[in-house]
Amino acid sequence: MNNLYLWCVSGITILIALNTIWRLIFERDRLAKEDLGEDDRVFAWRIVIFLIFPLLNLLDLHATTTVCELLGGYLKSWNYGFLWYQAVPAGLASNELVIPVLFAGSIVTTLFALCLTPSLLFRPHPFLATVIGYTISFVLALNLLADPLLSLIGLGGLRWQIALSYGAPQQRMPLIAVHAVLALVYLLIVRNSHVRLWFSSLSRPQATAQLRQALSSLQANPLSARLLCSVAILYDGAGLRGQSKNLLRTLKGQFPYSPFSYFLDALVAYRRRHYKAARKAFVYTSDYPGIDGELKASLLAAGACSAFADNDLIGALNLCERALEFDHQCVISRMVKVDVFLRQQKKEQAADEILVAMHMGLSLEISDKIPLDIDRAYNLLLELEEAKSIRHILQPS
């Protein structure tokens, strides 16, 4: 049953790999993009997992076979399934050779990943840098973290099961200790804020440049809600969502009643896929005194996106209707209505909604505006705060 499951995974892998190659050929324009979107990064992950990793897995198997034969043994049985392989060594002169044979392939692929690291110092194109960075991270995470767990529960190769069962007893504890130390070092490196910012400067150079400029402003100017919110949004755009969440805590602590605090809270919740909390926060922000028109519609439409992601179709539709009351040209709310109608099998109403949007001259390209146009919404919030400040200054005492 387990083998059937693994071979089904292999079959699905082949289909996805072929589709990825097809898209590489016919969507090669994305390889030259300087500003990568979320879809581009997902595509980079597909290349790493379904094209690069099967080749590295084959290299792993070949290295294991070669070392086993050099040490006088042979593979009694082996299976290769693109995302996994199983190899059982036999004929070795001593059980002290079992662990070196089993981990030869893992060592080779780990060294290969580490050898890719210097190439990032030459600042390759953002898409290539993303693929290289993802490859390094994926291979090290698999060898140091995932492989032991998957092997022990029987969903991956038999490397660790054989090593702990048939390897020399005096080698088992050093193997576990060295592996644990390397895994800890890897986790410390990938979670280091300086390393993450450096990689972000390679894969998202424009967003990181804006972030560095905003960080300089944060150090040079007095602390304010809008500045904290701006830096947190840029952290999110640079892929550093942990830092964005930390700034949200600071913003809530320093300026708990600012609309920027509510706005950032909604964005962070949506990014973390906490859709119920995001919907509540977007709607709550839209009810802030003074928010009206386009900004209110955008926030309500973002709440509709959150409701739709949470499979609350009726709630999403109601929020879309409310958003259109404040801005008849709110394209996000209209597209969410289309998605709701399609989910409800109401194709004619969905088509009518698209025709209305096209008749109004609205752009249906919203890939970078989900759940809302963040920059536009932030600028509208900024205008609201500046208007309130001017009214406060002009108000007679």
What contacts 61, CB < 8 A, 6 or more positions away?
Answer: 78, 80, 85, 87, 105
pLDDT at 161: 84
Higher pLDDT, 385 or 339: 339
> Tokens standing for 50?
């379904």
Which of 38-52, 76-90, 265-279 shows the lowest per-residue confidence on average (mean pLDDT)?
76-90
As given in the structure block, the two tokens for residue 63 are: 């290295």
> Where does the pLDDT of residue 395 fall: very low under 50, low under 70, confident under 90, or very high at 90 and above?
low
Characterize the bridge pairing of strands 85-90 and 74-80: antiparallel
CA distance 376 to 391: 23
* Residue 341 in tokens: 């109608």
The CA angle 372-378-382, to the nearest 5 degrees, is: 150
Confidence of residue 185 (pLDDT cuts 50, 70, 90): very high
Domain 257-394 has CATH 1.25.40.10: yes
Task: Output the CA angle 240-241-246, nearest 5 degrees.
Answer: 105
Cis peptide bond N-terminal to 89, omega within 30: no
Token readout for 380 is 């509208």
CA 362 – CA 327 distance, rounded (Å)? 13
Band of pLDDT at residue 63, cut at 50, 70 and 90: very high
Give the phi and the psi of residue 77 in degrees, each rounded to 5: -155, 145
Average pLDDT across the chain, whole number: 87
Instruction: Of 127-131, 336-340, 365-369, give the lowest mean pLDDT range.
Output: 365-369
Q: How far apart are CA 298 and CA 376, in angstroms?
A: 9
pTM for the model: 0.83
Q: Which residue has the higher pLDDT, 50 or 166?
A: 50
Give the relative orientation of helices 104-116 and 53-70 as an angle to the nearest 10 degrees: 130
Q: For residue 137, give the nearest of 121, 113, 118 by alpha carbon.
A: 113
Domain-by-domain residue ranges, the chain? 2-199, 257-394
Q: Which residues of 257-273 are buried (b: 16+ CB within 10 A; e: fewer)?
A: ebbbbbbbbbbbbbeee
* Cα gap 201→34, rounded to integer Å: 12
Kindly report which listed range (201-205, 366-370, 373-377) carries the lowest average pLDDT score: 366-370
**In contact, 84 and 2? CB cutoff 8 Å:** no
Whether 40 and 33 have beta carbons less than 8 Å apart is answered as yes
Give the DSSP letter string of 27-85.
TGGGGG-SS--HHHHHHHHHHIIIIIHHHHHHHHHHHHHHHHHHTT-EEEEEEE-SS-E
Asked if the model's pLDDT at residue 298 lies above 50, the reply is: yes
Phi and psi at 156, nearest 5°, equal: -130, -150
Query: Is it the case that residue 67 has pLDDT exceeding 80?
Result: yes
CB 141 within 8 A of CB 131: no
Q: What angle do CA 181, 182, 187 make, to 5 degrees?
A: 100
Contacts of 172 (CB under 8 A, 6+ apart): 99, 163, 164
- The DSSP letter of residue 90 is E
Q: Which range has the top average pLDDT, 38-42, 272-276, 289-293?
A: 272-276
Identify the pLDDT of residue 69.
92
Q: What is the 3-state secondary structure (H, E, C) of 321-389?
A: HHHHHHCCCCHHHHHHHHHHHHHCCCHHHHHHHHHHHHHCCCCCCCCCCCCCCHHHHHHHHHHHHHHHH
State yes or no: pLDDT of 343 exceeds 70: yes
